[in-house]
């Protein structure tokens, strides 16, 4: 049996980005994020997040406005926080650890677009998961690229563009992000 475009996408294989089913899923998520971003009460926002995300941990919160492609591929653990204007292109799984905080305008991109124009023009792409560990701080306007793992207790400086995995107990900054400091392991 042939895989659906969704199955290909989540498996990290080439898929057609304008597949009818994928477009319908993204459209449904746009409606939910619009409701979330316009909701006036915290309880209403929490209810929307619990119904939209793959996992929404206890005592976690996302500040509006918030945008994502699918929602159901985002797994946010307990006591985590996402500040204003975060964009998550969750074409593959995005795991956000416990006690992790994302500053304003952080961007998490799982989508991988082909470098050659011929493939790109066929609207083919792949997607790689992003894993953010526990007790991580990601500073404002940082960009995390596809396939990246940010280790436990790491810090990503504001404005960093993370192109390689981040080891636990390190601070990275810059474009491309590089290690600028090691943190004590407690």
Structure tokens belonging to residue 86: 């975060």
- % of the chain beyond a pLDDT of 90: 98
Q: Catalytic one among 73, 93, 95, 113? A: 113
Separation between Cα atoms, residue 160 and residue 67, nearest integer Å: 20
Name the architecture of domain 5-182.
3 Solenoid (2.160)
Please list, in sequence order, all residues whose beta carbon lies within 8 angstroms of the beta carbon of residue 57, skipping any fewer than 6 positions away: 76, 77, 78, 79, 80, 98
Task: For residue range 103-129, list pLDDT tens digits in order.
Answer: 999 999 999 999 999 989 999 999 999
User: Of the candidates 56, 16, 10, 7, which has an alpha carbon nearest to the alpha carbon of residue 32?
Assistant: 56
Pairing of strands 137-138, 155-156: parallel
Query: Domain ranges in the chain?
Result: 5-182
Task: For residue range 130-178, list pLDDT tens digits in order.
Answer: 999 999 999 999 999 999 999 999 999 999 999 999 999 999 999 999 9
Task: For residue range 1-58, list pLDDT tens digits in order.
Answer: 899 999 999 999 999 999 999 999 999 999 999 999 999 999 999 999 999 999 999 9
pTM: 0.96
Look at residue 186 in the predicted model and tell me its pLDDT: 75
Task: For residue range 78-92, list pLDDT tens digits in order.
Answer: 999 999 999 999 999
Pairing of strands 143-144, 124-127: unpaired
Can 113 be counted among the known catalytic residues?
yes
């Amino acid at each position: 049996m042939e895989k659906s475009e969704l199955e290909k996408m989540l498996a990290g294989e080439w898929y057609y980005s304008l597949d009818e089913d994928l477009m319908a899923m993204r459209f449904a998520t746009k409606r939910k994020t619009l409701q979330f971003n316009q909701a006036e009460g915290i309880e209403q926002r929490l209810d929307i997040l619990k119904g939209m995300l793959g996992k929404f941990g206890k005592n976690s919160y996302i500040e509006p406005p918030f945008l994502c492609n699918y929602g159901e591929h985002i797994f946010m653990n307990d006591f985590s926080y996402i500040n204003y204007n975060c964009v998550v292109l969750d074409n593959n799984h995005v795991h956000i650890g416990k006690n992790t905080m994302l500053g304003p305008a952080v961007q998490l991109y799982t989508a991988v677009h082909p470098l050659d124009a011929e493939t790109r023009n066929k609207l083919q792409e792949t997607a790689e998961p992003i894993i953010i560990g526990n007790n991580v701080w990601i500073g404002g306007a940082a960009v995390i690229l596809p396939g990246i793992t940010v280790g436990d207790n790491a810090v990503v400086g504001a404005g960093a563009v993370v192109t390689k995995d981040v080891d636990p107990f390190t601070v990275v900054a810059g474009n491309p992000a590089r290690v600028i400091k090691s943190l004590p392991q407690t």
